[in-house]
Amino acid sequence: MNRIDAKFAQLKEAGQKAFIPFITAGDPDLPTTGEIILEFERKGASIIELGIPYSDPIADGPVIQASYTRVLERRIPVKEILEFISGLREKTEVPLVSMVSYTIVYKCGIEGYLGRAKEAGLDGLIVPDLPVDEAAELSSTAEAHNLKTILLCAPSTHPQRRRHIAQVSTGFIYYISVMGITGARDRLPEDVQEHLRELKALTDKPVCIGFGVSRPEQVRMLARIADGIIVGSAIVNLIAENSTRPREEIVRITGKFIADLMTGLK
Residues 145-181: tens digit of each pLDDT: 999 999 999 888 888 999 999 999 999 999 987 644 4
Q: What is the mean pLDDT of residues 72-94?
A: 96
Active-site residue 49, yes or no? yes
pLDDT at residue number 185? 44
pLDDT at residue number 188? 55
DSSP string, 72-111: HHTT--HHHHHHHHHHHTTT--S-EEEE--HHHHHHH-HH
User: Which residue of the set 5, 39, 49, 123 is catalytic?
Assistant: 49
From the CB of residue 131, how many other CB atoms can be counted at a distance below 10 Å? 13
Instruction: For residue 221, give Cα distances in angstroms to 1, 65, 137, 248, 264.
Output: 31, 28, 37, 32, 8
Q: Which residues, at least 6 apart from 133, have a Cβ–Cβ distance to it below 8 Å?
A: 164
pLDDT at residue number 58? 67
pLDDT at residue number 74? 93
User: Which residue of the set 60, 93, 111, 129 is catalytic?
Assistant: 60
pLDDT at residue number 48? 98
pLDDT at residue number 178? 60
CA gap 252, 260 in Å, rounded: 12
CA gap 243, 170 in Å, rounded: 35
0.85 exceeded by pTM = yes
Structural domain boundaries of the chain? 18-265
Model confidence band, residue 184 (pLDDT cutoffs 50, 70, 90): very low
Q: Which of 168, 151, 159 is nearest to 201 (CA)?
A: 159
Task: Summarize pLDDT for 33-75 with one digit per residue, the tens.
Answer: 999 999 999 999 999 999 999 987 665 678 999 999 999 999 9
pLDDT at residue number 260? 96
Reported CATH class of domain 18-265: alpha beta
pLDDT for 29 beyond 80: yes
Task: Summarize pLDDT for 107-144 with one digit per residue, the tens.
Answer: 999 999 999 999 999 999 999 999 999 999 999 999 99
Q: What is the mean pLDDT of residues 192-221?
A: 89
